[in-house]
Amino acid sequence: MLSEGDNNTLTQVGPGTPMGTLMRRYWIPAALSNELRADGDPVRLMLLGEKLIAFRATDGKVGVMDHRCPHRCASLFYGRNEEGGIRCIYHGWKFDAEGNCVDMPNVPAHQDFKHRIHAKAYKTVERNGLVWVYMGDQSDIPSLPEIEAVLLPPEKMEFNFAQRSCNWVQALEGDIDTSHVDFLHGGARTERAYAPDDPRRWGAINRSPEYEVKETGWGVMYGAYRPGGPGQTYWRVAQFLFPFWTITPSGPFGDHMYARAWVPMDDTHTMALRVLIRANRPPNAGTEVNLDKVQPNSTDWYGRWRPETTAENDYLIDRHRQRTDSFSGLPGIAPEDQAVTESMGGIIDRRLEHLAPSDRMIAATRRTLLSKAGALANGELAPANDGALYAGVKGGYFLAPDELELTDAYEHASIAAGKRQAPVG
């Protein structure tokens, strides 16, 4: 059970909150590069409870700034994106991508004071098809995270944004909860769904694994393990990476290039970014219907990447299929996760929970987030975070000798895959 105070600390991300302050120490993937066109329409962004606009200037630079013009607070969303900046339509004040006021046409030249005006703007970087925003101290900016999946060029990856109408923590916790996979997603599948040499068959045989959880330099790692035949253990290893990244074991360790960011828009809305390598997706990975089926984007604050499945249409549940060939009756993995996490409400009252041994990863992740936010509030954390910390962090499923514990099993799988491994400690 989590106290009301700790639950508030965990879930609230606005300016000045402990978790919001922690979030602002990390780079945030905010948009796809192709969402912004030079001199094109500005895009509304809601990030960490702040209403922002994003635009691409004439020279290709991306600006992300407070939507309110520093003059009289009219929204720059209605501004003219032209000739190197965004111009407010109220009085014509113009701002470049860094937020500098470059023109003040309603003020006589001898009274001009544009050099003293600066819109609240955040540092942006584009890498491999994503626009990243840093919303913390603009004088002390860390390096971008070296998460493997986001280091690959966009032609090798699949990108998918999808909005969730719930708090970021409960959305993220769906990814680090491994025991739901063989029920919500695979409850109707039996051992016969897998080839004899496919290690995932052991998950269908035994749906109640044991768990090991370990705090790491980048966050928390878990291993769910169960017998995998004579002398072998079947492991599913996954990662939580600060502040909102997950790597799930939905593919074979080593070949599996995957990451998901659960970006808080505000306290009750989350934008999930999924990055997956195009090759090596295992067969029978799950019916991922509706992953890319979203409603047409609109221009309101919550108008981007809204799934077609919603609470209003009961996430398109099919009760006949639920009784016959589908455990959930929902049309795929994404709607299944969306339905259960949104059904909890905008923010869970965690005083009502009864956690089980299968929730050890969730409990550990909550503890480490609360600890890090508390340390930052007490002035105990360094002002920036090194993106190299994430290099080599992996997740996936594999078979390992029986005698190995989590850290050794992780190392064994890394060596077997011939991949560089991040040090766990």
User: Is residue 13, in this structure, part of any structural domain at all?
Assistant: no
Q: Where are the alpha helices (DSSP H) in 232-381?
A: 319-324, 333-343, 360-377
Bridge partner residues of 160 (DSSP): 274
Q: Is the pLDDT of residue 200 over 50?
A: yes
Over residues 392-401, mean pLDDT: 94
Q: Where are the alpha helices (DSSP H) in 14-71?
A: 18-23
Q: Is the pLDDT of residue 257 over 50?
A: yes
pLDDT mean across residues, the chain: 92
Instruction: List the one residue out of 64, 261, 32 whose CA is nearest residue 164.
Output: 261
- End residue of a domain, out of 141, 171, 198: 141
Contacts of residue 380, Cβ cutoff 8 Å, sequence gap at least 6:
none
pLDDT of res. 248: 93
6-29 tens-digit pLDDT = 999 999 999 999 999 999 999 999
Residue 267 structural domain:
149-417
Q: Cα–Cα distances in Å, from 420 out to 218, 286, 310, 394?
A: 16, 28, 41, 9
Helix (H, G, I), strand (E, B) or coil at 276: strand
Q: Are 191 and 279 part of one and the same domain?
A: yes
Over residues 173-180, mean pLDDT: 89
**What does the alpha-carbon distance between residue 20 and residue 40 come to, in Å, rounded to a whole number?**
31
Over residues 202-213, mean pLDDT: 89
Q: Are 158 and 244 part of one and the same domain?
A: yes
- End residue of a domain, out of 141, 171, 190: 141
pLDDT of res. 202: 87
Top-confidence residue, 149 or 286: 149
Q: Are 375 and 345 part of one and the same domain?
A: yes
Q: Cα–Cα distances in Å, from 320 out to 275, 312, 317, 323, 330?
A: 33, 19, 9, 5, 11
What are phi and psi for residue 168, nearest 5 degrees? -65, -30
DSSP annotation of 24 reads T
Top-confidence residue, 50 or 202: 50
Q: Are 199 and 134 part of one and the same domain?
A: no
**What does the alpha-carbon distance between residue 213 and residue 224 come to, in Å, rounded to a whole number?**
9
Give percent of the chain above pLDDT 90. 78
33-42 tens-digit pLDDT = 999 999 999 9
Helix (H, G, I), strand (E, B) or coil at 94: strand
**What does the alpha-carbon distance between residue 395 and residue 239 come to, in Å, rounded to a whole number?**
6
**What does the alpha-carbon distance between residue 356 and residue 266 come to, in Å, rounded to a whole number?**
29
Q: How many CB atoms lie within 10 A of CB 98?
A: 18
Q: Is the pLDDT of residue 289 over 60?
A: no
Confidence category of residue 189, pLDDT binned at 50, 70, 90? confident
Q: Of 1-10, 137-146, 374-383, 391-400, which range is least confident?
A: 374-383
Query: Which amino acid appears at position 89 of this protein?
Result: I
Q: Cα–Cα distances in Å, from 358 out to 58, 124, 174, 363?
A: 52, 39, 12, 10
Question: Is omega for the bond preceding 196 within 30 degrees of 0, making it cis?
Answer: no
CATH number for the domain spanning 386: value is 3.90.380.10
pLDDT of res. 51: 98
User: Is residue 119, in this structure, part of any structural domain at all?
Assistant: yes
User: Is residue 171, in this structure, part of any structural domain at all?
Assistant: yes
Over residues 151-157, mean pLDDT: 88
Confidence category of residue 284, pLDDT binned at 50, 70, 90? low
Over residues 362-391, mean pLDDT: 89
Q: Are 134 and 257 part of one and the same domain?
A: no
Contacts of residue 128, Cβ cutoff 8 Å, sequence gap at least 6:
150, 151, 152, 153, 154, 157
User: Is residue 343, in this structure, part of any structural domain at all?
Assistant: yes
136-145 tens-digit pLDDT = 999 989 999 9
User: Is residue 155, in this structure, part of any structural domain at all?
Assistant: yes
Quickly list DSSP for 216-258. Answer: -SSEEEEEEEEE-STTEEEEEEEEEETTTEEE---SBTTT--E
Instruction: List the one residue out of 181, 236, 185, 183 whose CA is nearest residue 213.
Output: 236
315-330 tens-digit pLDDT = 999 999 999 999 999 9
Q: Are 358 and 243 part of one and the same domain?
A: yes
Q: Is the pTM of this model over 0.85?
A: yes
User: Is residue 205, in this structure, part of any structural domain at all?
Assistant: yes
Q: Are 108 and 163 part of one and the same domain?
A: no
- End residue of a domain, out of 141, 172, 206: 141
User: Is residue 241, in this structure, part of any structural domain at all?
Assistant: yes
Q: Are 249 and 396 in contact (CB under 8 A)?
A: yes
Q: Are 167 and 221 part of one and the same domain?
A: yes
Q: Is the pLDDT of residue 421 over 70?
A: no
Q: Are strands 269-277 and 396-401 parallel, antiparallel or unpaired?
A: unpaired
pLDDT of res. 89: 98
Q: Please count the structural domains in the chain.
A: 2
**What does the alpha-carbon distance between residue 27 and residue 135 come to, in Å, rounded to a whole number?**
8
Q: Are 238 and 280 part of one and the same domain?
A: yes
Q: Are 121 and 168 part of one and the same domain?
A: no
Confidence category of residue 287, pLDDT binned at 50, 70, 90? very low
338-359 tens-digit pLDDT = 999 999 999 999 999 999 999 9
User: Is residue 7, in this structure, part of any structural domain at all?
Assistant: no
Q: Are 119 and 228 part of one and the same domain?
A: no
Over residues 146-169, mean pLDDT: 93
Q: Is the pLDDT of residue 206 over 70?
A: yes
Q: Are 347 and 259 part of one and the same domain?
A: yes
Query: Scanning the structure block, which residue is given the tokens 């925003």?
Result: 133
CATH number for the domain spanning 66: value is 2.102.10.10
Q: Is the pLDDT of residue 291 over 70?
A: no
pLDDT of res. 237: 96
Q: Is the pLDDT of residue 292 over 90?
A: no
Over residues 385-408, mean pLDDT: 92
Structure tokens at 339: 């339905």
Contacts of residue 40, Cβ cutoff 8 Å, sequence gap at least 6:
55, 56, 81
